[in-house]
Amino acid sequence: MSGAPVRVVLADDERMVRTALRVILDAEEGIEVVGEATTGAEAVSVVRELRPDVVLMDVRMPEIDGIRATEQILATLEDPPRVVVVTTFENDAYVYDALHAGAAGFLLKRAAAEELVQAVRLVACGDSLLYPAAVRTLAAEHAARQPARAPAWVARLTDREADVLRLMAAGLTNAEIAGRLSVGPATAKTHVAAVLAKTGARDRTQAVIAAYESGFITPG
């Protein structure tokens, strides 16, 4: 815990921001700012060279944005540093992207100095962290991932047609669907035809796509 200091690299295109971060972090014991970068591309090469423990990565940067830079760092380096994505606005959609890219944390620039320091220490210990307000964004996205996206046609499906669509989305042929539902092949075809009509699909493949895209069935 109190061994070697945490080595930090700052990536931000604005000098003032870098300076502010450096001042805050350098004042802390056990934290050492070892490098800076002003573009995403530079961030990747600086990190590759200096091998810091933590990277504070701005989102909006020239050449390569912080999200892509994060992806590249995590994809190309072995034993990569922990990346904390930093941005200005909390309503940024970047929260999701940052986590998706493998970021260990997400901070707003308006965060207090103590929050920043705590963030660096936390991720250096292997923990993850999100700026509280960002959690709301994430939670909201999570919650929103369920409703809304159910097109009208889903409700118009009869029970039987819904069964058939599920089996179609399981990759079954008409004959197999008939067998699974214990009905004649002709009946299965009729239901499939009805599903195609209601989904507006040209063939069973498009129907399955519609089933996925509408959330009627979900991967995993």
**Interface map 175-214 toward DNA (x if CB under 7 A):** x--x--x-xxxxx-xxxxx--xx----xxxx---------
Q: Which is nearer to DNA, 78 or 203 (CB)?
A: 203
Query: For residue 190, what is the DSSP state?
Result: H
Kindly state the helix (H) or strand (E) to which residue 19 belongs, with its residue range.
helix 15-26
Site stretch for a copy of itself (CB under 8 A), options 14-22, 26-34, 58-66, 135-143: 135-143
**Interface map 171-200 toward a copy of itself (x if CB under 8 A):** x-x---------------------------
Question: Which among DNA, a copy of itself, none contacts residue 175 (Cβ within 5 to 8 A by kind)?
Answer: DNA
**Alpha carbons 145 and 139: distance in angstroms, whole number:** 10
Q: Which is nearer to DNA, 110 or 156 (CB)?
A: 156
The number of residues that bind DNA (CB under 7 A) is 25
| Position 93 contacts a copy of itself (CB under 8 A) | no
- Nearest residue to 132 via CA among 103, 104, 111: 111
**Alpha carbons 140 and 184: distance in angstroms, whole number:** 46
Beta bridge pairs of residue 8: 33, 54
**Alpha carbons 15 and 193: distance in angstroms, whole number:** 63
List 143, 155, 159, 182, residue binding a copy of itself (CB under 8 A): 143
| Position 34 contacts a copy of itself (CB under 8 A) | no
Q: Which is nearer to a copy of itself, 17 or 214 (CB)?
A: 214
List 158, 170, 209, 212, residue binding DNA (CB under 7 A): 158
- For 195, residues 6+ apart whose C-beta sits below 8 A from its C-beta are 157, 161, 164, 165, 168, 201, 207
Three-state SS letters, 92-154 = CCHHHHHHHHCCCEEEECCCCHHHHHHHHHHHHCCCCEECHHHHHHHHHHHHHCCCCCCCHHH
What residue ranges bind a copy of itself (CB under 8 A)? 96, 99-100, 102, 104, 122, 127-130, 132-133, 135-136, 138-139, 142-143, 145-146, 149, 168-171, 173, 201-206, 208-209, 212-213, 215, 218-220
What residue ranges bind DNA (CB under 7 A)? 158-161, 173-175, 178, 181, 183-187, 189-193, 196-197, 202-205
